[in-house]
Amino acid sequence: MQKSAGALRERLAFIAFATAATLCVVAVLLICAFLLINGLPTLLREGPFAFIGNTTWQPATDTYGIFSMVVGSLYVTAGALVLGVPLGLLTAIYLSRFAKARTKRLLQPAVELLAGIPSVVYGFFGLVVIVPLIRQLFKVQGMGILAASIVLGIMILPTIIAVSKAALDAVPSSYYEGALALGASHERCVFSIIVPAALSGVVASVILGVGRAIGETMAVVMVVGNQVRMPVGIFEGVRTMTANIVLEMGYAADLHRQALIATALVLLIFILVINLLFSLLRKKARG
């Protein structure tokens, strides 16, 4: 009787987990189908190279080119990674291998709290603190690539710290003990043995950070300047693909709306390509 009850529970658990996984896959497929059905005709009508390679975005004349926004998205994301990855990785190393138990109890909730702060709060912080600070220090308008990169760099910290720390904690203790037995110092063991062994997990954290940075909208809209032009400096304003969609979708119609959906399709393909490249890098690191 107990055996049959246990088998029933296992069967129900299997069905629940399988259903949840299926719903996730179906949701992703529906989103992709929606973007393809509504965005692909416009992309093909305009011409993929013309749509992506043209720098002019003028809905009034039905001229749609997103190259300046693609480059703006790349600049902002690259700036966020330059600021966020080293700080996040060093924080993860400190929490995993150097911090005392009491320090971990204080810092770990703070890192988790960063992940729970809404995007609009990050954007408001950037608008009232970072933008005026940049304006005062460099005598510029303040809104631009640098401000957006700093805000996004802060936003991706929880993801990079959490995933990198989990990867570092998962490295077998025998690696560290063996290096110590050979006479290596604690710092040398960590940076020469533990970190390389956790490289695939660190790369995974960077992949998730890229996805968070390039897909962020609200915080970026508030500090990036939102000017449709090619980047001319880190202090000047640009417009990212996500910002363009959220700013114009409310009043877009017909071809304009389809062009915005096509922009979302390009963004999806862009993220998929980046994830594929990072996945190949992870496999190479494991090999």
Determine the pLDDT at residue 136. 94
* CA distance linking residue 108 with residue 180, whole number of Å: 27
Nearest Cα neighbor of 205 from 104, 85, 76, 107 is: 85
What is the per-residue pLDDT across 149-167, written as a single tens digit (0 to 9) for each? 999 999 999 999 999 999 9
Q: Are strands 63-64 and 57-58 parallel, antiparallel or unpaired?
A: antiparallel
Nearest Cα neighbor of 36 from 268, 265, 271, 257 is: 265
Determine the pLDDT at residue 286. 63
For the entire predicted model, the pTM comes to 0.89
Determine the pLDDT at residue 285. 61
In terms of Cβ atoms closer than 10 Å to its own Cβ (0-12, 13-18, 19+), residue 39 is: buried
What is the per-residue pLDDT across 250-284, written as a single tens digit (0 to 9) for each? 888 888 899 999 999 998 888 888 778 777 776 76
> Would you say 80 and 153 are in contact if contact means Cβ atoms under 8 Å apart?
yes
Tell me the average pLDDT across 30-43: 87
Q: Which residue has the higher pLDDT, 168 or 287?
A: 168
| Single-letter amino acid code for the residue at 212 | R
* CA distance linking residue 287 with residue 283, whole number of Å: 6
Which helix (H) or strand (E) element contains residue 58? strand 57-58
The DSSP letter of residue 224 is S
Tell me the average pLDDT across 131-139: 94
* Average pLDDT of the residues of the chain: 89
Determine the pLDDT at residue 255. 87
Determine the pLDDT at residue 101. 86
pLDDT confidence band for 194 (50 / 70 / 90): very high
Determine the pLDDT at residue 161. 94
What is the per-residue pLDDT across 62-90, written as a single tens digit (0 to 9) for each? 889 999 999 999 999 999 999 999 999 99
* CA distance linking residue 187 with residue 199, whole number of Å: 17
What is the per-residue pLDDT across 46-68, written as a single tens digit (0 to 9) for each? 788 889 998 899 988 888 999 99
Owner of token pair 């640009």: 238
CB atoms closer than 10 angstroms to residue 195: 20
Tell me the average pLDDT across 17-25: 93
Tell me the average pLDDT across 2-17: 81
Tell me the average pLDDT across 100-123: 89
Nearest Cα neighbor of 141 from 242, 234, 272 is: 234
* Per-residue pLDDT at 287 exceeds 70: no
* CA distance linking residue 278 with residue 284, whole number of Å: 10
